Amino acid sequence: MPLTGQAFIGAQRAAHAGSTFQALNPSTGQSLDPPYFSASTADVDKAARLAGEAAPTLAAASGISKAALLRDIAARLDALQQPLAERAHLETALPMPRLLGEVTRTTGQLRTFASLIEEGSWVDARIDTPLPERKPLPRPSLRSMLRPLGPVAVFGPSNFPLAFSVAGGDTASALAAGCPVIVKAHAAHPGTSELVGEVVQQAVAAAGLPEGVFSLLFDSGIEVGAALVRHPLVEAVAFTGSLGAGRALMDMAAARPRPIPCFAEMASTNPVFILPGALRSGPESLAQGLFNSFTLGAGQMCTKPGIVLVPDQPEAPAFQSKLADLVNQSAPFTLLTAGIAHAYARATTHRASQAATVAQAPASAADPACPAHAQLFETSLEAFLREPALSEELFGPDTLLVHCPSPADYLRVAQSLDGHLTASILGSEDDLAAHRDLIAILEQKAGRLIFNAFPTGVEVAPAMVHGGPYPSTSNSQYTSVGTGAIHRFARPVCFQNFPDAAVPQELQSTNPLGILRQVDGIPTRDPLTS
Amino acid sequence: MPLTGQAFIGAQRAAHAGSTFQALNPSTGQSLDPPYFSASTADVDKAARLAGEAAPTLAAASGISKAALLRDIAARLDALQQPLAERAHLETALPMPRLLGEVTRTTGQLRTFASLIEEGSWVDARIDTPLPERKPLPRPSLRSMLRPLGPVAVFGPSNFPLAFSVAGGDTASALAAGCPVIVKAHAAHPGTSELVGEVVQQAVAAAGLPEGVFSLLFDSGIEVGAALVRHPLVEAVAFTGSLGAGRALMDMAAARPRPIPCFAEMASTNPVFILPGALRSGPESLAQGLFNSFTLGAGQMCTKPGIVLVPDQPEAPAFQSKLADLVNQSAPFTLLTAGIAHAYARATTHRASQAATVAQAPASAADPACPAHAQLFETSLEAFLREPALSEELFGPDTLLVHCPSPADYLRVAQSLDGHLTASILGSEDDLAAHRDLIAILEQKAGRLIFNAFPTGVEVAPAMVHGGPYPSTSNSQYTSVGTGAIHRFARPVCFQNFPDAAVPQELQSTNPLGILRQVDGIPTRDPLTS
């Protein structure tokens, strides 16, 4: 499949017209062909209208048929694993093993949602049987279930060119819910996006679904995204990226004449609280684990640990010394884009004016075009509490140690925190038992609490919560990873007094799909007894 | 309990200070004692701080203990049924039987949520067991469940002085979720609110819970509400009322430095689609049913049918003629407030300039202070589609007939609709089967679809959906009536690698509460096998 640089407006390719941009190889600084054409307002409108037209058909499709689409997309992506990873490597400089694995994660996610909708119970079917003899008034028959919201605009981030991009978790969960998807590709990996977009559109066509089920638009600026979020036919937004861009989309979605939900995953510093037992049981391995976590993916992970609370105790110097050695000896990292590299350089310089630099990896002649040198900062408890900027996310391979006289100080730190995706506690089980208050506060500040592990690594599983209070996300009531992510794109609809033939199969008396339902409040897979 | 006119700031009564307002008897126009003191900014701040302090205690309370609080509130309200209804009757002019029934509905709701949290499965507990041998990486232990959001600001409407007010559905579901509540009482029924507030605060004290679990503030303006929604310690808003006020609160909640969810139930015209079989089987009884529905509660119901699509067929004139008779012969209604009566008079006068008046009940010397005369309007399909104002909600005893050449025209009408709480279809089962397309569109436009019944009457049951697309609510993904309403006030939190002793009972290995959980994706009440 040669790359063309053109958007997919449904099954059609957009015109070779308008302004163009090119991806950049972050290792070499070289531009990558082909040039990509920014979508026009007319392209956005056409994609939205096609999505609106496709919505009823996709909403009426069974779980089995939507699952077949997801499985076909997954199979086609698996068949392209090597070329996909190679193009993504050119565009992101992420290592090939990581990118090959990301293809597998992407197809695994698609199959996870396929399994979920094949089984079918996710729709939360509820049936209240009629009580015609009830006084003073009879109770009607009520049956409700989750139904799709309609067209969803998906914005992927720079740091997961596959698993959170064109056919990533947002697209997979939106399609699984029965919502058409319009993806605005991230400008840093348009070639990877085009390859995946071609696959998705092929699968849509092969399934005999309307072309408007999927469109893919390119843009290096903000116009296309803004037009999408404001389009009257778009019903929801899923975004992963920076706080600035995410908040702008949130505000646009909320300011529409008819506001729509915006699920934005944005900024998280993922605080790590070290308790005495963790340092006692091995300060050097603790340092190694932390270093691995904050430099994973060159520190460009939404769950990178960016704040580390360290208690003053005898093993603390060994921990910090080992961490400093690892940082000082680390090779230069390649960041995803020139913009991210500039932002990292600027932010670390600024941070060095607010906190002390403990260690910094050296620049070298072998530096890539978009370089980053790992950095380790430290500050005191009081300085940290005084300066809110110290708890902001830096996107790159750095972290900040906050020295606390004692873990008793952690409550004040926890209270001062904004929302985060994760909060980690490292220590013995006795430490944990002694810090129930800390857990109670952190539960209010994060979506996932982690004991004795580092926060990077987000499992795709039913119990995962990849979400958290603002500013880590726009809406802490949902997760963007794991099967729960499908709930972002559905809403309950109740059918009152409808005959069996006029309601979806999920609600019919015989329970033909055999799903778990709440019948008069009791979970059961049984048919209704009439 | 003599009324004092003072707010409850936790267990304390606010000072006798500041500006005051009084409720008005809508039948007589007389002011009702005592004067009520508008809350100060300091009152709002104190109530929010008390709520913030109470939040961790209430979040840690078991379902059993929160249920005991709800049941105690219900028992105390039942004991006050007569005086509560009497005060509410003075303040609202709603009939005593309706108000006595509303006390029962209120206590029924409280007990419904009590049962839900005693059983406990609502928390959506999910457990993914660890896979230590998995390659390339082990899977950690993940356990997630819903946890409370924190302090909730509740704004009740004028039209349900008990069931949607101080101890109404929003308060009941927020307390059930484990969230402290600060109610801003509706200025039209402050005495009823004070009586209920006293009961709730007594129950909080009797339960030994922190006083900040509940506060009740008064205000005749918008300042107190705005200060509440903007307060940094308030985590969510629940509102029932007008589109103007609801949208203002939505915008405030979205514009905060840290946005919070705002669940507003606002404007709905509840379209009714009459299909041929309904007219054939009895045009006069159909007219009687419709009249009863749009004049119920003097037309001041969120589910009042305000748009009625009528096909041109032989029985249509008899239907309209009967309806006109019922309207012409109806006695004057008493509206809830002078403001609502003025707005109804103004809006019906305006509507009479856009649509034809078919019938209008006469004014009389016996008119109450806040009168409304039932009105019936009619218009054509084309005029309806041309004039968006005709589909807006009027709050009072009127409805609008839209004459359509044929039910085939209904698809255009349905497509043109904004969001509504309900949409009703009246006809034979054959009619319904012939209009699958109509159902598919209405499903996108309403939260509840009703067959062969009128929309007034909202059952408190697990399958109820009292919600719908904007502008009927701010967030179509939730219901404000029925057990699902609790989900507005909770968010998922995941515990990774936590030992059993450090997670809530709902997530512990032995499943001590016996709740339904998803273990490795499979619903079960079984303990974990280790």
Best probe of the B interface among A249, A270, A429, A493, by most B CBs < 10 A, is A493
Best probe of the A interface among B491, B498, B500, B526, by most A CBs < 10 A, is B491
pLDDT of residue B227: 98
Asked if A448 lies within 8 A of B496 by C-beta distance, the reply is yes
Percent of chain B surpassing pLDDT 90: 97
- Tell me if B100 sits within 8 A of B61, measured CB to CB: no
Asked if A463 lies within 8 A of B126 by C-beta distance, the reply is yes
Give the pairing type, strands B420-426 and B272-274: parallel
pLDDT of residue A16: 80
Distances (CA, A) of A277 to A290, A298, A313, A422: 16, 29, 10, 21
Specify the range with the lowest mean pLDDT, choosing from B11-25, B26-40, B446-460, B479-493: B11-25
Nearest CA in chain A to B248: A255
Q: What is the dihedral of CA B195, B245, B371, B400, to 10 degrees?
A: -130
Query: Is the pLDDT at B524 greater than 90, yes or no?
Result: yes
Distances (CA, A) of A36 to A4, A26, A85, B245: 8, 17, 19, 46
Question: A290-337: per-residue pLDDT in tens?
Answer: 999 999 999 999 999 999 999 999 999 999 999 999 999 999 999 999
Query: Is the pLDDT at B15 greater than 90, yes or no?
Result: no
Phi, psi (rounded to 5 degrees) for B257: -50, -45
| Among A265, A378, A393, A506, the one annotated catalytic | A265
Asked if A259 lies within 8 A of B462 by C-beta distance, the reply is no
Cβ pairs bridging A and B (under 8 Å): 218
| Any A CB within 8 A of B438 CB | no
pLDDT of residue B18: 85
| Among A179, A302, A370, A404, the one annotated catalytic | A302
Averaged pLDDT for residues B209-227: 97
Question: Treating both helix axes as pointing N-terminal to C-terminal, what angle do B169-177 and B96-119 enclose, rounded to 10 degrees?
Answer: 10
| Any A CB within 8 A of B131 CB | no
Query: Is the pLDDT at B180 greater than 80, yes or no?
Result: yes
Averaged pLDDT for residues B339-361: 97
- The verdict on whether B265 is a catalytic residue reads yes
pLDDT of residue A8: 97
- Residue B341: which of B400, B390, B269, B394 has the closest Cα? B394
- Quote the mean pLDDT of chain B: 97
Q: Label residue B530 by pLDDT band (50, 70, 90).
A: low
Give the pairing type, strands A181-184 and A214-217: parallel
| Any A CB within 8 A of B261 CB | yes
Asked if A432 lies within 8 A of B476 by C-beta distance, the reply is no
Question: B237-249: per-residue pLDDT in tens?
Answer: 999 999 999 999 9
Averaged pLDDT for residues B332-337: 97
> Chain A contacts of B255, Cβ < 8 Å?
251, 254
Query: Is the pLDDT at B1 greater than 80, yes or no?
Result: no
Phi, psi (rounded to 5 degrees) for A152: -120, 130
This model of the complex carries an ipTM of 0.97
Averaged pLDDT for residues B77-104: 98
Binding-face residues of B in 100-119 toward A, CB within 8 A? 101
CA distance B279 to chain A (A): 18
Q: What single letter denotes the amino acid at residue A489?
A: F
Query: Can you give the length of chain B in residues?
Result: 530
- Tell me if B170 sits within 8 A of B154, measured CB to CB: yes
Asked if A523 lies within 8 A of B516 by C-beta distance, the reply is yes
pLDDT of residue A15: 84
CA–CA dist A94, A293 (Å, integer)? 16
- Residue A32: which of A92, A85, A94, A84 has the closest Cα? A92
pLDDT of residue B63: 98
Say how many C-beta atoms besides its own lie within 10 A of residue A290's C-beta: 24
- The verdict on whether A265 is a catalytic residue reads yes
From the list B419, B429, B496, the residue facing A453 with the nearest CB is B496
Residue the block writes with tokens 């704004």: B155
CA–CA dist A358, A381 (Å, integer)? 16
> Chain A contacts of B523, Cβ < 8 Å?
121, 516, 523
Q: Is the dihedral of CA B401, B407, B408, B413 positive or negative?
A: positive
**Which residues of chain A are modeled with pLDDT < 50?**
none
